[in-house]
Structure 1
């Protein structure tokens, strides 16, 4: 059964101003907590004071309930660490990107079992807070409370739950969707239903629509296939269509251009495919390529 196009109300309204000329050219199991040689005081819902680290269970985005620190910043665990025995392996440049949560005084817990909270001695002698044995960290690219930009980075980082487990990523959406997002340095670009950046290939053609990326090319640049309902949000519906590929599958097009993802983008908000080979570019809501002279900033590139 072929996919149908479903347009959200917001897309229909937003689309009125988008049609026109282009602006540019074509869960892990918790391990037992490990007590440090000099354990800090763990307090249950104590009054916070200067020097107190605070662990709080909070709902963050689509991740459900995860741990945050005293400033509301999401906390993470690293697959390359160990929880039993507790060991932190993130030092140097890694610890700059992923600052460890250090216990400089007491640790106040709210919504967390105090028996799961302890500390581990890092290589520099500082005490890092652990939950169910796992050292916990912040993420430098989370700039305000409620963000979880570190979820899934490198396939090794995940927000940590109140039990010390890894937060599960939201279940993939079954239907294909065209969305928009803002990537620093690139402005507004298109993404798929999972927030992954979309690209066009200048060796394809848009009139008529034709995809030329097959075989190994399609492994590196997976085509955005029309699966289930093709939902549209933030793009003029008149710009969205489909083209039949050589294998008979239907690929979504915007402005006539076949849409692709990039295999080296491992998390939403990344744009590692920008200007690769001088032929691959992100896509603006008007269905045009992002100008080659633009460049994604650090916030729009891959993590550590």
Structure 2
């Protein structure tokens, strides 16, 4: 059983990460560094009638986007970001007032902010293409009561993603393997050589996916500072769920890895390998003695 060396559970820093396995054709703009690495400004511009956006931290959700009064902003799953389209009208907009403005909003990355014309002709602010709303029952700042109303509504981050839905990639050092990618729980990530790098598809479904759970994403992807965000992306699985890719490879955990720092799936069936931070498979010659030899 392979465990990380003492202190290795922290993200690997100082490891030169070169995209030796090529670029990622499925990179996504939703990949961000942790909030501590963000350079988003919380300053606002006072000019009327421009809507003012800022950021706030809500317990349990992390960083969210807010209006000038500090009320949490939300996105609606039944709307569309590409192209921007709003569907919340009439009774819906009474509960979820749209953030409207005659001019583009200010206060966060201007490249992410835009406008969409509502059915009544008013201009609604968009972030990352998503129309944004407040929630009528959020009567105080620093709260997000709308987060639990239904699965269709979610607080929105400054990048336009769903708040509280981050999938995190890290890296750790494992004896005999060197640096490998991990998920937010510290579990080793693997690639499957029967998948085709860069194809945008996963071939591990059914029983396979129970043994090798895909690393899913339903919001933004955050990565440790040592990992090249340009290698990270996502694909759509056959069941419609989104799966993280690194270097064009779909990535998975292994159900038999019982604790962070284990990599008992490395080399399984001659098709499963731990993933280096560069997006390459760990050299098969570095095969732990206790690694399983089965497939799935």
TM range (shorter): 0.3 to 0.5
TM-score (norm 2): 0.47
Q: TM-score, normalised by structure 1?
A: 0.46
Bigger radius of gyration, 1 or 2? 1
